Amino acid sequence: MTRARQPSDLDVAGRLGWVDAPSPIEALPALAERLGLAWVGAKRDDRLPVLQGGTKPRKLDFALAEPRLADAARWASAGAIGSGSLVALTAAAAKLGRRLDAHVFWTGLSTGVVDNLAFTASGPTELRYYGSRAALALRRPTVLLGDTCRGAAVIPPGATSPTGMLGLVRAGLELADQVRAGELPEPDRLYVALGSGGTAVGLAVGLALAGLRTQVVGVGVVERTLSPLRRLRALREGLLAKLDALGIARPESPIRLAVDRRFAGAGYAVPTRASLDACADLEAEGLSLEPIYTGKAMAALIAAARAGGASRVLFWQTQRARALPHDARWRDRLPPALAHRLALAEDPARLARRRLILGLGAVAAAVGAGVRFTGYPALAGFRGTVLATWEAHVFRAAAEAILPPATDAGAFDAIAGRVDRYLVGMPPSVQREIHAMLAIVEHGTPIGGRLARFTRLTPADRARLLDGLAARGGLLAQVYSGMRDLTYLAYYQQPATWIALGYEGPRVALDYDPRGPDRSLHPAYEDLRAPRGALPRGIVR
């Protein structure tokens, strides 16, 4: 009989030693009674006394001990504005005297989101703001895919890496110890929220390594496309390879991980009725949940208990401790565009008022400047169907201001032509909006305190002006995002830019003719292709 695996077996990997005593197990007898289960309890990672608690410190305990990160003075990581991972990293940076570039994207506000943002903004951090997850991926691919981003060592989203997941393998062994010590019965099932997937995969491997038969149920809290099964399999294989490298034998028992996606609702950061109900329910039992991760996981546990099938069920409380400290003036540290959007989201009435005022202001400014669309030279290689020559110049000027420096001079010249091709299929109402948008950018410079046309400013002044539009919110912020999105759309159509995205290019040849004989060779591509005349979501003819 070989000796049982111990949490300390993982120490060969090197860790900071931040996670020490096991997090407590708390039985929830009233809930068990209500659900008709033999036993229900929670593994209280919110009581871990490091980095504000929660499960993320378990990953960082190992991840930050890796030489690549241990030796870096500056880290970079991406997450939602209310990201728990960025909270833990902020606390870690404060503890170790490092700085963190926090690349944050917008999500709707719900319980805990503003608290997390306030804490992150109060720490040794630089916040960089993006209007959406897609905008972040397009504008800063290296913080998602690279090793370094603007000179800072990158920590992947959710701190999910093979090394970080070792913290959850250790947690699985810790739980097995508690089962052996009689603190809880061996659970039939363990419910845990599944975001990037590192927590659920790491726990499932840890429990298998300990020889427990517990089925881990990862409750999806994000859109399926963000954590497809193939990604979870890749995480598992990466983790097993890491164990091999450390000389730790792979588990002999099967790794039992099931994924339940029925409780994700509309996707990440969007609470569901069931999740809000679960939060209210468990508050009464003395367990504090939030609606984005733990509420959804608990909703799945409750629904499954009603359906029967398991009798001893463990809930993994991944949520951080309740109150987070923050600086009284944290809002002053936010990028202006984020501060503005936050203020509007917290007071929707303001949005309607500003829309109207700014709409009128922009038109008045454009007229006051004397709108002239003449005197623009031809642009190399550009012959527009929708866009006039002056409009092509505006796109070229915007590209110089907001895109990474071009590696070949032709790259910026080609932007307007590609935007034009995209606009050809758009309804006239959309084309009219684009013309108005370009007039505001080119001749609306007095809004930003400048009298010259946009195309005559230096690239740095143009960038400042566009940022200024974003910060004003409402209509002007829409002008800014319209310019930016179209410019990026055209930019990332150019094969030379794909390498920065880690994109290997289409599986079909660039000269592929969708009506030609090659068609039958690419059924999957044909499935993806929009039907002729289809419009992007949200646009009506």
Ligand X SMILES: *Cc1c(COP(=O)(O)O)cnc(C)c1O
Residues that bind ligand X (CB under 6 A): 54, 56, 84-85, 158, 160, 193-200, 293-294, 318-319
* Structure-block tokens of residue 447: 């809004």
- The residue nearest ligand X at its CB is 84
Nearer to ligand X (CB atom), residue 232 or residue 477: 232
152-154 vs 148-149, strand pairing mode: antiparallel
Closest to ligand X by CB, 196 vs 215, is 196
Rounded to a whole number of angstroms, the minimum distance from the CB of residue 272 to ligand X is 15
Q: How many angstroms separate the CA atoms of 416 and 394, rounded?
A: 9
Check: CB of residue 62 under 8 Å from CB of residue 15.
yes
Query: What would the two tokens of residue 324 be?
Result: 């987070």
Nearest approach in angstroms of CB 56 to ligand X is: 6
CB of 239 to ligand X, least distance (A): 12
DSSP 277-318: HHHHHHHTTT----TTTHHHHHHHHHHHHHH-S-SEEEEEE-
Q: Which is nearer to ligand X, 163 or 319 (CB)?
A: 319
| Nearest to ligand X of 163, 199 (CB atom) | 199
Give 199 or 215: the residue with its C-beta nearer to ligand X. Answer: 199
Closest approach, Cβ 35 to ligand X, in A, equals: 21
Nearer to ligand X, 90 or 318 (CB): 318
Q: How far is the CB of 203 from ligand X (least distance, A)?
A: 9
Q: How far is CA 136 from CA 116, 177, 468, 485, 504, in A?
A: 19, 42, 19, 11, 19
User: Radius of gyration of the chain from Cα atoms?
Assistant: 26
Residue 478 has which token pair? 């829409």
- Cβ at position 24, least distance to ligand X in Å: 17
CB of 133 to ligand X, least distance (A): 14
541/539 Cα distance (integer angstroms): 7
Indicate the residue among 321 and 430 with the shorter CB distance to ligand X: 321
**Minimum distance of ligand X from residue 199's CB (angstroms):** 3
The rounded distance, in Å, linking the Cα atoms of 315 and 434 is: 51
Query: Cβ–Cβ contacts within 10 Å for residue 206, how many?
Result: 29
Q: Give the whole-angstrom CA distance, residue 226 versus residue 338.
A: 24
Identify which of residues 47 and 519 has a Cβ nearer to ligand X in the complex.
Answer: 47
φ/ψ of residue 76, rounded to 5: -135, 140
- Give the C-alpha separation, 414 to 403, whole Å: 13
Say which residues have a Cβ less than 8 Å from residue 29's Cβ, sequence separation at least 6.
Answer: 40
- Measured distance CA(89)–CA(220) in Å, rounded: 23
Q: Any alpha helices (H) in 403-508, and if so which ranges?
A: 410-424, 428-443, 459-472, 474-491, 498-501
State which residue, 231 or 421, has the beta carbon closest to ligand X. Answer: 231
Which lies closer to ligand X via its Cβ, residue 272 or residue 318?
318
Shortest distance, position 407 Cβ to ligand X, whole Å? 35
Q: How far is the CB of 123 from ligand X (least distance, A)?
A: 17
Q: What is the nearest approach in angstroms of ligand X to the Cβ of residue 293?
A: 3
Q: Do the Cβ atoms of 124 and 112 come closer than 8 Å? A: no
Residue 83 CB, nearest distance to ligand X (Å)?
7
Q: Which residues contact 2 (CB under 8 A, 6 or more apart)?
A: none
Asked whether the beta carbons of 376 and 389 are under 8 A apart, the reply is yes
* Distance from C-alpha of 515 to C-alpha of 223, rounded to nearest angstrom: 33
SS3 452: coil
Measured from the CB atom, the residue of 194 and 282 that comes closer to ligand X is 194
Per DSSP, helices labelled H in 23-76 are: 29-35, 56-63, 67-70
Find the shortest distance in angstroms from Cβ 38 to ligand X: 26
Our CB check for ligand X shows the closer of 283 and 513 to be 283
For ligand X, give the closer residue by CB, 293 or 491: 293
At 255, give phi and psi (nearest 5°). Answer: -90, 115
Compute φ and ψ for 317, nearest 5 degrees. -80, 100
Distance (Å, whole) CA 254 – CA 215: 10
H or E element at residue 194: strand 189-194
- Cβ proximity of 418 and 396 under 8 Å: no
Structure tokens at 89: 């990293």
Contact 510, 525 (CB under 8 A): no
Task: Give whichever of 233 and 372 is closer to ligand X, judged by the CB atom.
Answer: 233
